[in-house]
Amino acid sequence: MRLLAIETSCDETSAAVICDGAVLSNVVSSQIKLHAEYGGVVPELASREHLRNLLPVIRAALNEANLSNAQLDAVAVTQGPGLPAALMVGFKGAQAFAFALRRPFLGINHHEAHLYSPWITGQPPRADFAAFQPNVSLIVSGGHTMLVHVPGELKHRVLGATIDDAAGECFDKIAKLIGLPYPGGPELDKLAAQGNPRAFDFPRPLLHEANDNFSFSGLKTSVRYFVRDHPHLLENGQSLRDLCASTQAAIVQVLVTKTMRAAKRLGVRCVTASGGVTCNSGLRNELAAACAKNGFTLRLAEKSLCTDNAAMIGILAERKLLAGHAPSPSDAEINVGWALA
Ligand code: KG4
Ligand code: ZN
186 lines ligand 1 (CB under 6 A): yes
**SS3 per residue for 236-265:** CHHHHHHHHHHHHHHHHHHHHHHHHHHHHH
Closest ligand 1 atom to the C-alpha of 10?
7
User: Where is pLDDT greater, at 31 or 169?
Assistant: 169
Report whether pLDDT(328) > 90: yes
Q: Which of 7, 171, 173, 248 is the pocket-test mutation for ligand 1 (most atoms within 8 Å of CB)?
A: 171
Check if CATH label 3.40.50.300 holds for domain 2-125+305-322: no
- pLDDT band for 236, please (50, 70, 90 cuts): confident
- Ion ligand 2: protein residues whose beta carbon lies under 5 Å: 141, 308
List, for residues 100-115, the tens digit of each pLDDT value.
Answer: 999 999 999 999 999 9
Count CA atoms closer than 13 A to 27's CA, side-chain side. Answer: 18
Q: Is the CB of 277 under 6 A from ligand 1?
A: yes
User: What pLDDT is stored for residue 225 in this prediction?
Assistant: 97
Residue whose CA lies nearest to ligand 1 atom number 23: 185
Cβ–ligand 1 distance for 172 under 6 Å, the answer yes
Contact 17, 24 (CB under 8 A): yes
Residue 182 pLDDT: 86
Q: Which residue has the higher pLDDT, 234 or 16?
A: 16
Residues of the chain with CATH 3.30.420.40: 2-125+305-322, 132-301
Q: Residue 143 CA: which ligand is closest?
A: 1
Alpha helices, DSSP H only, in the chain? 32-36, 43-65, 84-101, 110-114, 167-177, 184-192, 217-229, 237-266, 281-294, 303-306, 310-322
CATH superfamily of the 132-301 domain:
ATPase, nucleotide binding domain (3.30.420.40)
pLDDT, the chain, mean: 96
Confidence (pLDDT) at 218: 95
Q: Could you tell me the strand order of the sheet in which 120-121 lies? A: 105-109, 74-80, 2-7, 12-19, 22-30, 126-127, 120-121
11 lines ligand 1 (CB under 6 A): no
Per-residue confidence at 31, pLDDT binned at 50, 70, 90? confident
Banded pLDDT at 30 (limits 50, 70, 90):
confident
Query: Does the Cβ of 308 fall within 6 Å of ligand 1?
Result: yes
Is it the case that residue 42 has pLDDT exceeding 90?
A: no
Give tens-digit pLDDT for 246-292.
999 999 999 999 999 999 999 999 999 999 999 999 999 999 999 99
Per-residue pLDDT, 43? 86
Q: What is the pLDDT of residue 131?
A: 97
Say if CB 194 and CB 211 are below 8 A apart: no
pLDDT for the residue 171: 97
Mutate-to-test residue for ligand 1 from 32, 141, 174, highest number of ligand atoms within 8 A of CB: 141
The CA 249 to ligand 1 mean position distance, Å, reads 16
Question: Which tens digit of pLDDT belongs to each residue from 62-83?
Answer: 999 999 999 999 999 999 999 9
> In a mutational test of the pocket of ligand 1, which residue from 279, 302, 312, 313 has the highest number of ligand atoms less than 8 Å from its CB?
279
Of residues 15, 19, 13, the one with CA closest to residue 321 = 19
Q: How many CA atoms lie within 13 A of 15 on its CB side?
A: 23
Query: What confidence tens digit (pLDDT) does each residue in 142-198 have?
Result: 999 999 999 999 999 999 999 999 999 999 999 999 999 888 999 999 999 999 999
Nearest CA-CA partner of 44 in 102, 107, 94, 89: 89
Tell me if 280 CB under 6 Å of ligand 1: yes
